[in-house]
Amino acid sequence: MNTTFLNLLKTKKLTTIMSLPANDPELAKAAWEHGADAVKVHINVEHRASNTIFRSFEEEYEALKEILSVAKGPTGIVLGGDVLSAAKDYESVVKAGFDFVSLYVHHTPMQVLQSDKILKMLAIDYTYSQYEINSLSHIGADILEASVIKPETYGQPLTAREIISYKYIVQNTDIPVVVPTQRDIKASHLSTLAQCGVNGVMLGAIVTGKTKESISRAIAEFRNYIDRM
């Protein structure tokens, strides 16, 4: 198992992950060139924030292969938006050379949970309880993704209430916590997230937009802020 991504989360003051709004090698190149520490792609899911439908591994393969070929750091993949799709494409993803898989806990099949072939970043949503958060690190998750914002509030300003939620999650797990930009997180908010103990921020379409130019600007701004922290 390649643990580079996990090591980054444990050692850097704040790891920057770019969640691509499309499986486009040019967008991946822009992310790497402007300071992303890791990149994440998708298959088998309709992505709410970017309004994109991602197809199966086989259908997305050529683009995914090129994205892996230009990678300058860890590259992960969302296996799908349901258990069956995730199970179907898991072995193909491992063989392709991805560094980590990303799934909601309730979309994670047992063959993924029990595998030691690849890092697992498992996401919780706003419905998860304290005991589920506490238990996640003890059943095989390597990284916790705190996707705890209600969908109807995506894109709204970040407030103190969300900070409390993130702090609570950090206090109730012993694995690294990644916060996705489901709210309109600004670069200037990163110091507060870091003070809460958050290990990584995952930038998505809500804050980066969906073009090469907008992604380049957003990544560069976040990178510059983190480097000055």
Domain boundaries, the chain: 4-228
pTM score of the predicted model: 0.95
What architecture (CATH level 2) is domain 4-228? Alpha-Beta Barrel (3.20)
Q: How far is CA 139 from CA 36, 99, 143, 172, in A?
A: 29, 20, 12, 15
What is the per-residue pLDDT across 70-128, written as a single tens digit (0 to 9) for each? Answer: 999 999 999 999 999 999 999 999 999 999 999 999 999 999 999 999 999 999 999 99
Which residues, in sequence order, are bridge partners of residue 143?
121
As a whole number of angstroms, the distance between CA 45 and CA 53 comes to: 6
Q: Which amino acid is at 88?
A: K
pLDDT tier at 49 (50, 70, 90 boundaries)? low
Beta strands in the chain (DSSP E): 15-19, 38-42, 45-47, 52-54, 75-78, 100-104, 119-124, 143-146, 177-180, 200-203
pLDDT tier at 48 (50, 70, 90 boundaries)? low
Q: What value does the mean pLDDT of the chain take?
A: 96
pLDDT reported for residue 52: 79
What is the per-residue pLDDT across 160-197, written as a single tens digit (0 to 9) for each? Answer: 999 999 999 999 999 999 999 999 999 999 999 999 99
As a whole number of angstroms, the distance between CA 119 and CA 27 comes to: 23
